Chains A and B, each alone.
Chain A
Amino acid sequence: MAATIRLQREPFDAASEAAKLRRGRGDIGAVVTFTGICRSDESGAPLAAMTLEHYPGMAEAEVARHVEAAERRWPLLGVTVIHRYGRLEPGEDIVLVVTAAAHRQDAFAAAEFLMDYLKTRAPFWKQVEYADRKTWVEAKSSDDALAERWTLPDGRDEAAE
């Protein structure tokens, strides 16, 4: 299955990406589209902007590794991951994950798996900008816990290998 993976500065169109994934496919019964959006405040403080830094080369490879892990785990019929970098303003889209499968459970699970891993393993860093200061977002242990739940029963983290 050919997956679409893109890292880009430019905005994306979630609806057209989802439509592209299912075009001409009679076997797809479920498409899950997740969009992560830049909020206008962080813990109550109004946000001027968010800048995403990434590790070119490694970021693509890490996303691809996790897409492959998702494909091994669920019978997917299509995957699209688009992650933006650079300066984003509140209300702008940050990340898109689209998963397609015959049945909804597989599409939902794969989309959650991909997002949980993108948050904790893909080399991206968020810096938030307030009116008077900039600060790097700290990793949340709750995100680590969410990624942990996908570890296989034998303790293997297949995407980390």
Chain B
Amino acid sequence: MKLRYFAWVRERIGKPEEEIEPPAGIATVADLMTWLSRRGEEYAHAFENPKVIRAAIDRTHVRGDAAIFGAREIAFFPPMTGG
């Protein structure tokens, strides 16, 4: 699946997107954040406070308990500040 990062999440991780294949057992968006945060310092920094991170699956807002099975694109970003 493709992961996309925006705003300071993107800056902390150091790239706007990447392809990943999470291992079996990573079932939800929250699981994925935990798994990602163990991939290195930059990920740990980006996900140090998972409560503030928002996520979208296939361009629709989801909560942390959303299942990632079948997702093509998952995005992580800070709370939105448009308008």
Complex Cα spacing A118 to B60, Å: 15
Contact stretch, chosen from A8-16, A20-28, A49-57:
A49-57
A83 with B59: CB separation less than 8 A: no
Q: Taking chain A's interface residues, is the majority helix, strand, or loop, or is none over half, making it mixed?
A: mixed
Does A126 sit within 8 A of B, measured CB to CB?
yes
Chain B residues, Cβ within 8 Å of A59: 82
B59 with A52: CB separation less than 8 A: no
Chain B residues within 8 Å of A, Cβ to Cβ? 4, 6-8, 56, 59-61, 75, 77-83
Chain B residues, Cβ within 8 Å of A121: 61, 80
Complex Cα spacing A115 to B83, Å: 6
B82 with A118: CB separation less than 8 A: yes
How many A-B contacts if CB must be within 8 Å?
71
B83 with A94: CB separation less than 8 A: yes
Q: Measured between C-beta atoms, what is the minimum distance from A93 to chain B in Å? A: 12
B82 with A55: CB separation less than 8 A: no
Q: Measured between C-beta atoms, what is the minimum distance from B73 to chain A in Å? A: 9
Chain B residues, Cβ within 8 Å of A125: 6-7, 77-78, 80-82
Complex Cα spacing A53 to B4, Å: 13
A136 with B78: CB separation less than 8 A: yes
Complex Cα spacing A83 to B83, Å: 7
B56 closest partner in A (C-beta): A58
A137 closest partner in B (C-beta): B81
A123 with B78: CB separation less than 8 A: no
B6 with A55: CB separation less than 8 A: yes
